Structure 1
Amino acid sequence: MEGAEAGEQEWAAVAQDLLALGYEGCPGAASPGTSCPDFRALCARLAAELATLGALEREREEGTEALSAGDGPGAEEEFLRQLAGLLWELHCPDRELCGGDCAASLREPDARLRLLRFLCSEVQAARLLRLRSRLDPNPEPSCGEGAEAGSGMVQELILTLQALGLPRPTPGTPACQLLRDLHAKISELLPSLPPESLQPLLNHPLDAPRWEVLASLSQSLRDQYGCRRCLLLKRLDLTTSAFHWSDRAEAQGEAMKAVLIPIREALTSESDVSIAHVLAARADLSRLVPATSKTARRGTCCAINKVLMGSVPDRGGRPNELEAPMPSWQSRREDGGGRKAGRQCWGRKKKKK
Structure 2
Amino acid sequence: MACPYSVLISGDIKDRLTKKDDCLKLLLFLSTELQALQILQKKKHKNSQLDKNSEICQEVQAVCDALGVPKSNTSDIPLLLSQVESKVKDILSKVQKNHVGKPLLKVDLSSEQAEKLERINDALSCEYECRRRMLMKRLDVTVQSFGWSDRAKAKTDNIARIYQPKRYALSPKTTVTLAHLLAAREDLSKIIRTSSGISREKTACAINKK
TM-score for both structures, normalised by structure 1 = 0.39
Q: Distance in 2 between matches of 1:231 and 1:212?
A: 29
Q: CA distance change for structure 1 residues 53 and 154 in 2, over 3 Å: closer, same or farther?
A: closer
- Percent identity between matched residues is 27
Tell whether 2:145 aligns with 1:238. no
Structure 1 counterpart of 2:71, from 143, 164, 171: 171
The equivalent residue for 1:259 is 162
Which residue type is aligned with residue 72 of structure 2?
G
Task: Give the one of 126, 130, 133 matched to 1:223.
Answer: 126
Q: Please name the residue that 1:182 is paired with.
A: 88
TM-superposed deviation, 1:49? 4.2
Q: Flag the structure with more relative contact order, 1 or 2, with Cα contacts below 8 A and sequence separation at least 6.
A: 2
Q: CA deviation at 1:277?
A: 0.6
Alignment of 1:182-331 (within 5 A): 182-191=88-97, 193=99, 198-298=101-201, 300-301=202-203, 305-307=205-207
Q: 1:229 to 1:254 in 2, by over 3 A?
A: same
Q: Which runs of 4+ in 1 moved over 6 A?
A: none
- Per-residue CA shift, 1:81-130, capped at 9, x if unaligned? xxxxxxxxxxxxxxxxxxxxxxxxxxxxxxxxxxxxxxxxxxxxxxxxx5
Q: Tell me the secondary structure at the aligned position of residue 140 of structure 2.
A: helix
**Distance in 2 of aligned mates of 1:239 and 1:153:** 40
Q: State the alpha-carbon separation in 1 of the partners of residues 176 and 98 from structure 2.
A: 29
Instruction: Output aligned runs, 1:1-353, within 5 Å.
Output: 49=46, 53-54=50-51, 130=52, 146=54, 150-159=57-66, 161=67, 168-172=68-72, 175=80, 176-191=82-97, 193=99, 198-298=101-201, 300-301=202-203, 305-307=205-207
Deviation readout 1:224-258 (Å, 9 max, x if unpaired): 11111111111111111111112122221112112
Q: What SS does the aligned partner of 2:191 have? A: coil
SS of 2:71 mapped into structure 1:
coil
Higher helix content, 1 or 2: 2
TM-score, structure 2 as length reference: 0.62
Q: How many angstroms apart in 1 are the aligned matches of 2:167 and 2:59?
A: 20
| CA spacing shift, 1:155–1:257, aligned 2, 3 Å | farther
How far 1:279 sits from its partner (Å)? Answer: 1.1
Instruction: State how far apart, in whole Å, the 1-side matches of 2:162 and 2:59 are.
Output: 25
Give the corresponding residue for 1:315.
Answer: none
Higher CA-based Rg: 1
Residues in 1 aligned to 2:103 and 2:88: alpha-carbon distance in whole angstroms: 20
Render the CA deviation track for 1:25-54: whole Å, top value 9, x for unaligned.
xxxxxxxxxxxxx8xx89xx59x949x555
Q: Distance in 1 between matches of 2:88 and 2:191?
A: 31
Contact 2:105/2:182 (<8 A) preserved? yes
What is the alpha-carbon distance in structure 2 between the residues aligned to residue 207 and residue 177 of structure 1?
26
Please list every run of 5 or more consecutive structure 2 residues that lacks an aligned counterpart in the other structure: 1-34, 74-78
How far off is 1:200 after superposition? Answer: 1.9
Give the distance between the partners of 2:192 and 2:50, measured in 1 at CA. 48
Describe the superposition over 1:264-299 as per-residue Cα deviations: whole angstroms up to 9, x where unpaired. 22212111111111111122211111123233345x
User: How far off is 1:199 after superposition?
Assistant: 2.3
Match in the other structure for 2:28: none
